[in-house]
Amino acid sequence: MGHLIAPCVVVQLHADAGSVGTTAIDKRPVDYAVKVGRLGLYADVQADRKNHGGEEKAVYAYAAEDADWWAQQLGRDIPPGLFGENLRVEGIDASTPQIGERWRIGTGEDAVVLEVTYPRTPCMTFARWMGEDDNGWVRRFSDARRLGTYLRVVKTGTVKAGDPIEVEAAPVGSPTILDNYRLPSD
């Protein structure tokens, strides 16, 4: 069983050189319970709704263990929200879960149920945000296979830091999110 280190929501929109012209990647942890609706965490937005958000990519989760690995690789801290994630989790594999696997976050009537749908596909907005756009960040992030996962909301409720995360079984024979992942340049 894992737990939720932090729910993260957008702090402010930033101008971005990409085709949308703005980004909502600047997410930070909050210290209160956050409602989770069908389209994700309340008080959060996605600027590029073509590639982020919607019901199939309502919530993005990233594991603390993977963030720690990146901190060593980059020689800098990777605090919750820096990668644009909505949920920083610990003790749960967010980079190779099975498609259709369900995560119950919290306890009681207000627990949230999420279902694994896709891996994150890194983009140049992410590279620019990290200050790594001249260093092959998109390819490097993809090659590391520590992408994190998108989830759909099956049951709405609320989440807060410290909530337990219980992984429910995926459909028998379901592939992992990486089984069909193609690198951005493939």
Domain count of the fold of the chain: 1
The two three-digit tokens of residue 161, written as one number? 């830091």
The reported pTM is: 0.93
CATH number, domain of 103, equals 2.40.33.20
- Residue 178 falls within a domain, yes or no? no
Beta-carbon neighbour count of residue 105 at 10 Å? 28
Query: For residue 139, what are the domain limits?
Result: 2-168
- Residue 175 falls within a domain, yes or no? no
* 139-151 CB burial, b ≥16 within 10 A, e <16: eebbeeebbbbbb
What is the distance between the alpha carbons of residues 168 and 51, in angstroms, rounded to a whole number? Answer: 27
How confident is the model over 49-102, as pLDDT tens digits? Answer: 666 778 999 999 999 999 999 999 999 999 999 999 999 999 999 999 999 999
What is the distance between the alpha carbons of residues 65 and 70, in angstroms, rounded to a whole number? Answer: 9
- Residue 179 falls within a domain, yes or no? no
Instruction: Confirm if 46 and 52 have CB atoms less than 8 A apart.
Output: yes
Provide the pLDDT for residue 49.
64
How confident is the model over 113-156, as pLDDT tens digits? Answer: 999 999 998 988 999 999 987 779 999 999 999 999 999 999 99
What is the distance between the alpha carbons of residues 131 and 107, in angstroms, rounded to a whole number? Answer: 39
> Residue 154 burial by CB count (10 A; 0-12/13-18/19+): exposed, middle or buried?
middle
Split at pLDDT 50, 70, 90, the class of 183 is low
